[in-house]
Chain A
Amino acid sequence: MDVKALIIILMSSVLVDNYVLNRFLGICPFLGVSKKVNQSVGMGISVIFVMLVATAVTWPVQTYILDKLGLGYTQTIVFILVIASLVQFIEIFLKKYIPSLHQSLGVYLPLITTNCAVLGVTINNITDGYNFLESMVSSLGCGLGFLLAMVLFSGMRSRIEESDIPESFKGLPVTLVAASFISMAFFGFAGIVENLLA
């Protein structure tokens, strides 16, 4: 275990295996909350937060409960259960003790309760055989990648809103086309990270 491996995990989950743009998870908030830059930043930060907390809980659940009992296949349903109640718990906790943080994250927390990007990160961490530290780093990277994609895309959308779009492309169609372009751009990162620190 060295720092270099961690950096590679971080960078590749931000750029190469970007959850939104390369694995197409979490498309719903990506399209839904990306109209304004400040909203997308709020959403991105909330996702980072939830991903980290979710991984911190699901990794031990998988390793010390499910694997011990040979119940690895119930992973999906158990993780949904755990993440959903965890997010609810955090929301209640924040409302009581850190109202300011609850106000800024409040709208987004329920939205990502069962977000597939969050579930995807926790499951992929297990599938990739990461240990606890690696899982946390990978979650952080995925969250950062989500934030990056959201911010880039919301900037793009604010430009789109002001341009002259053919009638039939207005609204969601042009948004999806733009999303595909940005996704193609991210494919360019493939293969970079492995050689970055070589």
Chain B
Amino acid sequence: MITGILTALLVVTVIGVVAGILLALASHFFKVEENETVKAVRECLPGANCGACGFAGCDAYAQAVAEGQAEANLCIPGGPDVAGQLSAVLGVEVSVEAPKVAYVNCSGDCSAVAQKTIYEGLQSCKAAAMVYGGPFSCKFGCIGLGDCVAECPVGAISVKDTLARIDPKTCIACGKCVKTCPKGVISLVGEDVVVAVACSNKEKGAVARKNCMNACIGCKKCEKTCQHDAIKVIDNLAVIDYAKCEDCGECAKVCPTGRLKIVDMKNGVIG
């Protein structure tokens, strides 16, 4: 009986040792030289695999950066920190853009817009938008079925009163919501901006007002008030050129509809 146990033990051990030696030899002889730069770059990245850089994930981006096929400042969640680390690893200068956050250019919640149709189909903004431009009277605004909520990798978006709201403190500015929104009401703005336009309606003033109580009516007061030539009414909608904006906030003070909102993204104030 003892011999039986011993034989079994011996056979299993021998098979195990042989397999182990084979694997050790294999890993030695078939070793693939991994690029040291790729490893170093990968260690700097946050590893959220959010895809904001435009690559399949952190690994793919690290590969691309190390091979010089991608800029080192594309990691949006990592922001200036990661870009700085990468520039140290790669030994090149990396220009850093100001950190951004996603902002919903709409304030048409259910108290402001009229229900045009009752939509009972697939609960998705993309599907609803295909039916007469959505269930609300304003065909430019947020539909509020939460395609962006589903897309957000960090849970920064919530829908309240049929209007998506983004918590700028949680947002990592990956831009997925911007891409997925069928109405295009979400945009990426600098984290340090003071004024944001909370409307996307391009209809003429009276029509816009009729369709949404909270619409920008294109009155051009802001355009006249701005000393820095930074705000323009284009297609009946105020548009801010943040490159020129001096953050004085005068335009928001004169806006009769209150669609120019004073915001403080860093502290989570979105107007």
Contacts and interface: CB of A to CB of B under 8 A. Distances in A.
A81 B26 contact: no
A24 interface: no
A71 B8 contact: yes
A92 B7 CA distance: 31
Given A71-B11, A78-B15, A162-B122, A85 B30 contact: no
Nearest to A85: B19
A96 B32 contact: yes
B30 A71 contact: no
A73 B20 CA distance: 22
A65 B11 contact: yes
Contacts of A97: 30
A95 B20 contact: no
18 contacts: A66-B11, A69-B7, A73-B8, A74-B12, A78-B12, A81-B15, A81-B16, A81-B19, A82-B19, A85-B20, A88-B23, A88-B26, A89-B22, A93-B30, A95-B32, A97-B30, A162-B122, A164-B123
Interface residues of B, number: 18
A146 B19 CA distance: 28
B-side binding surface: helix, strand, loop or mixed? helix
A65 B8 CA distance: 11
A93 B8 contact: no
A82 B23 contact: no
A77 B8 CA distance: 11
B267 interface: no
Interface of A: 61, 65-66, 69-71, 73-74, 77-78, 81-82, 85-86, 88-89, 92-93, 95-97, 162, 164
Contact of B27 (A66, A71, A86, A92): A92
B23 A92 contact: yes
Interface of B: 4, 7-8, 11-12, 15-16, 19-20, 22-23, 26-27, 30-32, 122-123
B11 A85 contact: no
Contacts of A66: 11
Given A69-B7, A89-B23, A81 B12 contact: yes
A82 B15 contact: yes
